[in-house]
Chain A
Amino acid sequence: MRMGCKTAWVTTLALLCGCGGMTRFVHPDADMPFYERVAVIPFSSLAQDRLAGEKVTDVFFSELLQRKFDQVLEPGQFASAMTRVRGGTPYANPWSSGELTKLGKETDVQGVFIGTVREFTMVQNGRDSYPLVALEVRFVDVATGRLVWSASATRHSGPGVPFLGRPERTIDGLAAATCRQLLRTLPEVTRHAKPAS
């Protein structure tokens, strides 16, 4: 009995290791199949690493391709459209709904992902260091400027249990896992086949 209790504790600890807080919001009228062409605005960074936004954007883009959107606009293509709409204003500055509408018309996208990297660092744990990542991502309808979905998560890694799982040691690996975790909360994009006329 005592042995069983111990096993349960160890399993619970192993499961909890690496998990962090997470929140999400989905607009009650969200119609995800409507969004066929989407794009990612480079994430802003509040972390010490000023390049964290760029790094996580690349990782997020790659993860987003695995979702069932018809097209995720290529970052270079979208960046040139952003420059046309905004001129010299940095992408990381907040976007007004007017600018988003203009961007939507320019690129023919229906929705954009906007994100903020709050933490992106290695934390010392004993003699080892492990990554810590905190992200917040929003999906905005460009025509109306309405927030369709938002989610945020904080994840950190730590020493794993030998033979029972490998801890995530690279910060980009943890960022990818966090992006996946966030995207899993996005409502299903699957479109139903149109009836033959």
Chain B
Amino acid sequence: MRNLRREVRRAARASAFALLACALGCVPQPRTFIAPEERPFASADSSSRPFRVALLPLANYSPDRDAPQRLGLALANELARIPGLEVVDPGAVEDALAKEPWLLLDRLPPDLADRIGAELHADGLLQGALLAYGGRDDREGRTPQVSLALRLVRTPGSRVVWSTVHGRDGADGEWLFGLGRVNAMEQLSAAVAHEAVRPFAAAMEQAQQSRVASRERK
């Protein structure tokens, strides 16, 4: 009888922990597409050089004029940390864009995308839009919200090899009495950038490992 009681208590404790762990980790995950090609992130000449990506300024659908620059920085930081990936210098991207009179940066015509890609020696252009960068009113005051859509387009050819849509609300991670809540916009932006890029980073890492393995086999 005593054993049974102990077992029940242990099961109850385990369930409570599991519930808490679920509540803590229960934040929305990005919806990601990775092209089912064999080597979507191989450099154009298939050599061992890193995959070069140019991050274009995000199209802004939010009322905050500076939001794309802020989130762009967070994204650039996340991308720079991925092994096997080289991010084109933002200054060079700006110079290349300045030569082309085109405003819709998330709707680049293929010939223009190819030209920019060639000028920057980039294997892919990372384009996207900032869908939301603001907040909503709730009982705590104002809770921040950030949403973005990104797609990596290979150049030349304009084929989408990675695409993601991710959005977070400051209260998503809250589980009890405000614990886990994010009130700072900068903190939420960094989290969104990190979570949005994570599946891409994992795919890049996997590609890198298989490249090393095949080289060792040779």
A-to-B contact residues, CB < 8 Å:
51, 54-55, 58-59, 61-63, 65-66, 71-72, 74-77, 79-80, 122, 124, 126-129, 163, 166, 168-173, 176
- Tell me which residues across on chain B come within 8 A of A77, comparing CB atoms: 109-110, 158
Count of chain B residues with a beta carbon within 8 Å of a chain A beta carbon? 44
Q: Which residue of B lies closest to A73 (CB)?
A: B158
Min CB gap A12→B, angstroms: 22
Is B163 on the interface with A (CB-CB < 8 A)?
A: yes
Chain B residues whose C-beta falls within 8 Å of the C-beta of A171 in the assembled complex: 132, 147
B64-83 contact mask (Cβ, 8 Å, vs A): 1 or 0: 00000000000000000000
Is the contact region of chain B dominated by helix, strand, or loop, or is it mixed?
strand
**A170/B138 in contact, CB under 8 A:** no
Q: Given A54-B61, A62-B31, A163-B23, are A170 and B145 also a contact pair (CB < 8 Å)?
A: yes
**Least Cβ distance of A189 to chain B in Å?**
14
B127 to chain A: which residues have CB within 8 Å? 76
Check A128/B139 contact, CB under 8 A, given A55-B131, A166-B26: yes
B113 and A76: CB pair below 8 A?
yes
Minimum C-beta distance from A45 to chain B (A): 11
| In contact, A170 and B158 (Cβ under 8 angstroms) | no
- Chain B residues with Cβ under 8 A from A63's Cβ? 31, 165
Nearest CB on A from B91, distance (A): 23
Inter-chain CA distance A171–B143, complex, in Å, is 13
A75 CA / B167 CA spacing, docked (Å): 21
Asked if B164 is at the interface (CB within 8 A of a chain A CB), the reply is yes
Closest to B109 in A: A80
A173 touches B28 (CB 8 A): yes
* Chain B: minimal CB distance from A175 (Å): 9
Q: In the complex, which residue of chain B has the Cβ closest to the Cβ of A72?
A: B160
Binds A, one of B3-11, B92-100, B168-176: B168-176
Please tell me which one of the listed residues B27, B153, B171 contacts residue A76 in the complex, with CB atoms under 8 A apart. Answer: B153
